[in-house]
Structure formats: structure tokens, C-alpha cells
């Protein structure tokens, strides 16, 4: 019997590096090569069928490397297995269109969702699974370690040390998973400098550095112009603050990305203040640096913010508020998506966010027919952390409500709030009998329908019609009527059992604005602490510098 070889990965790595050295010759200076040779490097190190992790999430993108990959010769490199947090750019799908890659495991594909569905239907793209971020990161270390990682950094020094700075995001997870399984790490940098502000990734975890002809693309995804917040969103924000934040005394939380939650952020220093809630709610956040949070921070509401990524234009504001944000010795922020997802899951008492569709069990999905969009972070934020053991008043109260009248052993529960207007744009009802996710499952031949947040994790549904507290429901029927009871004039809302809904209202399972003592006359845009981008800049003392597309002055 032949003795088993135990270091095939190391040997294979050496072969790849040797091929690269041979091809690049004197163009390779240390770890650095000219941008013009990137295709030669990729052809040299890639092998058919490789698992390739291309860094790209909902914020920063290794776009130069992604473009180079998409333009490789499919006769030389094909059937790559792409691992990606987010499919955001056209190049991310060109690799499948051109036959360079054929297999995909990912989390989210918002902007490219329709094209993902088309390519999957055409058989050019085979989806392994749609994941949440933490789940995908976890698999990088278990059964999906990348052979080659293509990542982005702000700057490198001559040795290959990297500064990833405020938008560190996914880089540490990808590089660690690749390096310690003897894969190859290739990084595009905006600049090569003699001395870095700080080292975020050490040089011996990096194999090749290429200075990109242009800075990596980054999306200001978390910037919400207060001018677009509606009065309905103000009303819903008032209900959220009074009916949920104050009710449970929520100190630690994560907000979704939409205008609904931006309205809450902008109501803390006004409406929240008038209710005497400062210091009692919303002190610690797992949140990107939302510009809409500036007025609350300036008014002294916020103790800390830990971020998944950064946000364009917030750099100087963050630098000037180091007590609030996670800032390195050099003065700039460091984000880390994996740690922040873990923080959002385990260290927060509440997640509140929007969705597109909710069914009568409370299952919530952003999948609509013909679009394979995926989940991103909401599924980890919006799930009870069953591994949690530390108590807090909000967590305990939610657990008590869910267990009232049963002899289950005491434990708490995470508050998971879905906040949605009953009708979306073009009068599309947000409440439905059957999620589009079922149709998508059939179209794309998935094992299960792609549900973003499962109904048994949802504790509250908040619409302009009121709050349904699902923790207090004692049967599937009650739960269904509680959901119908806040579904307004949608077909499923109109089909409610009016007597049962009134009964649920008497028991406080459903609470309408007037039940909460909210004066609807106050629900105007005047209640927002900032009503425009300019107001946000002013609130920051001129430190916030919004991207051009948000400037209209």
C-alpha cells in the first residue's frame, strides 16, 4: 500500500506560485505586479474547477480583479466555483455568461437578482445554496475553503502588508480562510505606500499585490435622504418608539437599511426626547455608520456603534467621534462584517427592518418571482439567538410574554420586528396568502422556499395600522388573525375575522396608534430631527461629507 501524501495542498500552492513566477518574470517585484499583467497572473494560478472567492459585498468591491476574471479565456480557465457575499456588478455574472465559472454559492444579489434567475434557468449557473453572511463565512472554513481569493484593500506597503481601513468588511474572513488552507491571496489596492496607517492584514497572508488603475468601487448603501421620508413612515416610527422601544426598554439593537428605520433614527432626538426616553433606549448599536443617526449621536443618545462596514462621507465624522465608533490607533475606523454579524445576532436585544412580503404565518421574504435576491444579514439579525445565555430586561420581557401560562423553563427571546406598510409601490400588497418565494423555489429548483425571516422568529409586525405582538398569541389561529388585523386594506387584511381582531385588540395583542396614545396630528415631517441631507451635514458640524449624488446644494 502506498503511503498517503499529507501535504497536497501545500505542494499545489507551490506549483501555482512557481507558475506565476515563471510567467511574470522580472515584472514581479516582491509581491507586486503591474496591472497590465493581471490576466497572466490569473491564468497562471487558477486551475479548472477551483473555488474562487471574489470579494464583493453590498459595499466595497474588488472590481478590478472581478473584471479581469470575467475576461479570462474560457478555453484556458473554466468551471470555476464562485464564492461571493454579494453579486453586485455586471462582471459578477459575466463570468458565468462567458463560461469561466459555472457554480455559485452566495448570500445576496440585489442589483443582479433578475439576471441570476435568467442564467440559472438557462443552465449557465448552478446555485449550490443561498446563504446568510455568517453561514457562508462559516463554510469558507469547513467545506468551501477558497483555492484563490481575490480581495480589495485601501493600501499596501512594499512588503504586502494591507491597510483595509474603515471598509475592512469581509477581507479578514476571506483572507484567513484562504491562507490557512494553503490557497492563494491576490489583492487589488488603491495605492502602494512606504508606510501604512496601520496593518489590518499581515504581509505573510498575502501572495500578490496589484495597484488598480482606479480606486475600488464602493456603494453608499446606508445613506437615506431624509427628504424622502413620508408622513406614514413618521407615524410608524412613532409607534415603534412608543409601542416597542419604550415598552421593552431596548438598549442594544440593529436597524435595517430602509427609510422606515431611518425615520426612527431621526425621531429619537425629537419624539423620543418628548417621551423622556433618552438614556433609557437605543444606546448601543450594531449598525453601519448611518448618516441618519448623526442627530441622535449629537444629542447624546448613543453610547456606541459597531459597524459591518463604513459609509462613504462619514470618515471625518467618525474620526471626530472615537468614543462612539471602533477606531484604531491611527484614528480611522475598522469594520468587520463577520464580527458585527455575530454581535448583531448575540449582543442585540432587537432587530427591526423592512421586508417585501409577509404571509399569514409571519414568514417574511424579499424574494419575488423572477428575481433570486438572497438574504444578506437580515436572517442572522432577525433570528432568535438560541445560543444566547446572558439576560437583559428586554430579552426577559419578550421571553416572559411568549411563555405566559406555560410551565416552560424561563428564558428570554430576541425581539424581531418586521416594519412594513400594508401596500408597497404600485399598490402591491405586502401581506399575502402565499409568498412568491414558493414560485421561485419551483422555478429555480430549490430544496426550500427562500424565506428571509421565519415566522416563528418574528415577534412583532408593525404597519401603519398598528402593532401585532405575536409573542402574546396562543394559537396559530390567533397569530393569523393578529397579522390580518394589521394588514389594513390588503385582500388578506379585509378577510379578517373582525370580532376576533377586536378581541385581540382588547387583550393588547394588536395595538393601534390611538391605543398607544399617539396623536396622529404630530405625524408630520416637522417631527424629523433632519429633513434634508443639508440638515445632516449641519447636525454633524460640517464633518459629514455626503457623496455628490446626495448633494443638491
Partner 1 sequence: METLNYRFEQGQRRLAQPPQVVGVVSSGNLEVLIEEAALNGACEIKISTAAVGFGPIWQAVMQDFQQRWQLADTRISINDMGATPAVVSLRLDQAVQTMLGEAP
Among 56-64, 347-355, 400-408, 457-465, the segment contacting partner 1 (CB under 8 A): 457-465
The least CB distance from residue 499 to partner 1, in Å, is 15
Give the three-class secondary structure for 418. strand
DSSP 8-state assignment for residue 531: S
Terminal CA-CA length for the chain: 77
Distance (Å, whole) CA 297 – CA 262: 14
Per-residue mark of binding to partner 1, 213-232 (x: CB under 8 A): -----------------xxx
Beta carbon of residue 520, minimum distance to partner 1 (angstroms, whole number): 5
Q: How far is the CB of 524 from partner 1 (least distance, A)?
A: 8
Least distance from partner 1 to the Cβ atom of residue 517, Å: 9
Q: Does 422 bind partner 1 (CB under 8 A)?
A: yes
| Total interface residues for partner 1 by CB under 8 A | 19
**Exactly one of 91, 225, 464, 480 binds partner 1 (CB under 8 A); which one?**
464
Nearer to partner 1, 166 or 488 (CB): 488
Q: Is residue 526 a contact residue for partner 1 (CB under 8 A)?
A: no
Return the C-alpha cell found at 44: 497562471
DSSP 441-465: HHHHT-SS---SB-TTT--EEEETT
Determine if 239 is a binding residue for partner 1 (CB under 8 A). no
Q: Which of 415, 441, 427, 437 is nearest to 366 (CA)?
A: 437
Contacting partner 1 (CB under 8 A), which of 433, 494, 508, 542? 494
Task: Pick the closer one to partner 1 by CB: 101 or 235.
Answer: 235
Contacting residue, 117, 367, 483, 523, with partner 1 by CB under 8 A = 523
CA dist., res. 160 & res. 205, Å (int): 9
CB 412 within 8 Å of CB 391: yes
Smallest CA-to-CA distance from 67 within 221, 214, 219, 220 is with: 214
For the bound state, the minimum distance from the C-beta of residue 273 to partner 1, rounded and expressed in Å, comes to 22
Residue 522 C-beta: closest distance to partner 1, Å: 9
Alpha-carbon Rg for the chain, nearest whole angstrom, is 25
Supply angle C-alpha 453, 457, 461, rounded to 5. 80
Closest CB to partner 1 among 104 and 430? 430
Q: Which is nearer to partner 1, 105 or 464 (CB)?
A: 464
Kindly tell me the burial class for residue 323, based on how many C-beta atoms sit within 10 Å of its own C-beta (0-12, 13-18, 19 or more).
Answer: exposed
Q: Which stretch binds partner 1 (CB under 8 A): 175-183, 217-225, 280-288, 516-524?
A: 516-524
Tell me which residue has cell 409601542: 243
Q: Report the nearest approach of partner 1 to the CB of residue 365 (Å).
A: 21
Whichever of 425 and 445 has its CB closer to partner 1, that residue is: 425
Helix (H, G, I), strand (E, B) or coil at 229: coil
What is d(CA 203, CA 501) in angstroms, rounded to the nearest whole number? 62
Among residues 10, 228, 274, 520, which is the contact residue for partner 1, using CB under 8 A?
520
Strands 148-156 and 162-163: antiparallel
Interaction between residue 342 and partner 1 (CB under 8 A): no
Q: Does 488 bind partner 1 (CB under 8 A)?
A: yes
Smaller CB separation from partner 1, 445 or 519? 519
Nearest to 363 by CA among 289, 461, 456, 441: 456
Minimum CB separation of residue 230 from partner 1 in Å reads: 8
DSSP 514: T
Q: Which stretch binds partner 1 (CB under 8 A): 47-55, 316-324, 358-366, 518-526?
A: 518-526
- Which of 118-126, 164-172, 297-305, 415-423 is the region at the interface with partner 1 (rule: CB under 8 A)? 415-423
Cα–Cα distance for residue pair 365/378, rounded to 1 Å: 10
Which residue from 489, 506, 526, 552 is in contact with partner 1, where contact means CB under 8 A? 489
Kindly tell me which residue out of 427, 475, 549, 553 binds partner 1, with binding defined by CB under 8 A.
427
Nearer to partner 1, 230 or 361 (CB): 230
Count of other CB atoms within 10 angstroms of residue 26: 5
Which residues, in sequence order, are CB contacts of 403 under 8 Å at separation 6+?
410, 411
Q: Does 195 bind partner 1 (CB under 8 A)?
A: no
Q: Do 413 and 396 meet the contact criterion of CB atoms below 8 Å apart?
A: no
The window from 130-138, 165-173, 258-266, 417-425 that contacts partner 1 (CB under 8 A) reads 417-425
Query: Rounded to an integer, what distance in angstroms lies between the CA atom of residue 327 and that of residue 369?
Result: 42
Q: Where are the beta strands (DSSP E) in 87-164?
A: 101-108, 126-130, 148-156, 162-163
Among 521, 548, 549, 553, binds partner 1 (CB under 8 A): 521
Query: Residues interacting with partner 1, by CB under 8 A?
Result: 230-232, 235, 421-423, 427, 463-465, 488-489, 494, 514, 519-521, 523
Amino acid at each position: 500500500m502506498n503511503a498517503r501524501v499529507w501535504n497536497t495542498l501545500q505542494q499545489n500552492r507551490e506549483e501555482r506560485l512557481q507558475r506565476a513566477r515563471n510567467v511574470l518574470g522580472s515584472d514581479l517585484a516582491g509581491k507586486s505586479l503591474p496591472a497590465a499583467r493581471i490576466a497572466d497572473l490569473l491564468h497562471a494560478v487558477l486551475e479548472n474547477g477551483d473555488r474562487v472567492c471574489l470579494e464583493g459585498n453590498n459595499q466595497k468591491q474588488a472590481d478590478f480583479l472581478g473584471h479581469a476574471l470575467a475576461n479570462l479565456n474560457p478555453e484556458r480557465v473554466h468551471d470555476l466555483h464562485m464564492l461571493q457575499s454579494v453579486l453586485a456588478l455586471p462582471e459578477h455574472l459575466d463570468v458565468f455568461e462567458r463560461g469561466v465559472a459555472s457554480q455559485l454559492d452566495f448570500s445576496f444579489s440585489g442589483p443582479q437578482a433578475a439576471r441570476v434567475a435568467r442564467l440559472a434557468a438557462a443552465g449557465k449557473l448552478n446555485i449550490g445554496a443561498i446563504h446568510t453572511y455568517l453561514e457562508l463565512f462559516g463554510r469558507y472554513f469547513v467545506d468551501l475553503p477558497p483555492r484563490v481569493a481575490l480581495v480589495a484593500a485601501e493600501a499596501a506597503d512594499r512588503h504586502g502588508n494591507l491597510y483595509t481601513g474603515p471598509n475592512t468588511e469581509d477581507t479578514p474572513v476571506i483572507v484567513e480562510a484562504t491562507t490557512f488552507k494553503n490557497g492563494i491571496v491576490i489583492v487589488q489596492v488603491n495605492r502602494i505606500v512606504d508606510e501604512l496607517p496601520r496593518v489590518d492584514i499581515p504581509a505573510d497572508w498575502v501572495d500578490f499585490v496589484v495597484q488598480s488603475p482606479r480606486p475600488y468601487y464602493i456603494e453608499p448603501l446606508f445613506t437615506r435622504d431624509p427628504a424622502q421620508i413620508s408622513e406614514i413612515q413618521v407615524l410608524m416610527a412613532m409607534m415603534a418608539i412608543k409601542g416597542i422601544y419604550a415598552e421593552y426598554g431596548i438598549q442594544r439593537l440593529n436597524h435595517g437599511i430602509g427609510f422606515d428605520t431611518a425615520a426612527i433614527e431621526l425621531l429619537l432626538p425629537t419624539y423620543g426626547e418628548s417621551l423622556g426616553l433618552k438614556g433609557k433606549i437605543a444606546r448601543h448599536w450594531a449598525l453601519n455608520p448611518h448618516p441618519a443617526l448623526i442627530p441622535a449621536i449629537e444629542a447624546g443618545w448613543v453610547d456606541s456603534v459597531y459597524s459591518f462596514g463604513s459609509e462613504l462621507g462619514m470618515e471625518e465624522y467618525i474620526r471626530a467621534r472615537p468614543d462612539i465608533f471602533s477606531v484604531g490607533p491611527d484614528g480611522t475606523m475598522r469594520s468587520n462584517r463577520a464580527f458585527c454579524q455575530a454581535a448583531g445576532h448575540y449582543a442585540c436585544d432587537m432587530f427591526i427592518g423592512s421586508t417585501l412580503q409577509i404571509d399569514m404565518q409571519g414568514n417574511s421574504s424579499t424574494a419575488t418571482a423572477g428575481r433570486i435576491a438572497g438574504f444578506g444579514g437580515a436572517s442572522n439579525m432577525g433570528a432568535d439567538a438560541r445560543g444566547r445565555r446572558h439576560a437583559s430586561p428586554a430579552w426577559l420581557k419578550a421571553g416572559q410574554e411568549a411563555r405566559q401560562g406555560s410551565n416552560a423553563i424561563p428564558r428570554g427571546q430576541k425581539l424581531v420586528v418586521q416594519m412594513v406598510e400594508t401596500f408597497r409601490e404600485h399598490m402591491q400588497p405586502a401581506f399575502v396568502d402565499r409568498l412568491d418565494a414558493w414560485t421561485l423555489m419551483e422555478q429555480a429548483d430549490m430544496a426550500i422556499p427562500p424565506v428571509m425571516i421565519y415566522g416563528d422568529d418574528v415577534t412583532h409586525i408593525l404597519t401603519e395600522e398598528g402593532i401585532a405582538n405575536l409573542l402574546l398569541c396562543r394559537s396559530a389561529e390567533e397569530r393569523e388573525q393578529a397579522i390580518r388585523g394589521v394588514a389594513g386594506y390588503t385582500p388578506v387584511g379585509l378577510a379578517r375575522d373582525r370580532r376576533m381582531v377586536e378581541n385581540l385588540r382588547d387583550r393588547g395583542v394588536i395595538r393601534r396608534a390611538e391605543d398607544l396614545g399617539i396623536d396622529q396630528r404630530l405625524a408630520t415631517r416637522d417631527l424629523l430631527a433632519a429633513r434634508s441631507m443639508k440638515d445632516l451635514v449641519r447636525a454633524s458640524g460640517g464633518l459629514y461629507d455626503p457623496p455628490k449624488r446626495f448633494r443638491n446644494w
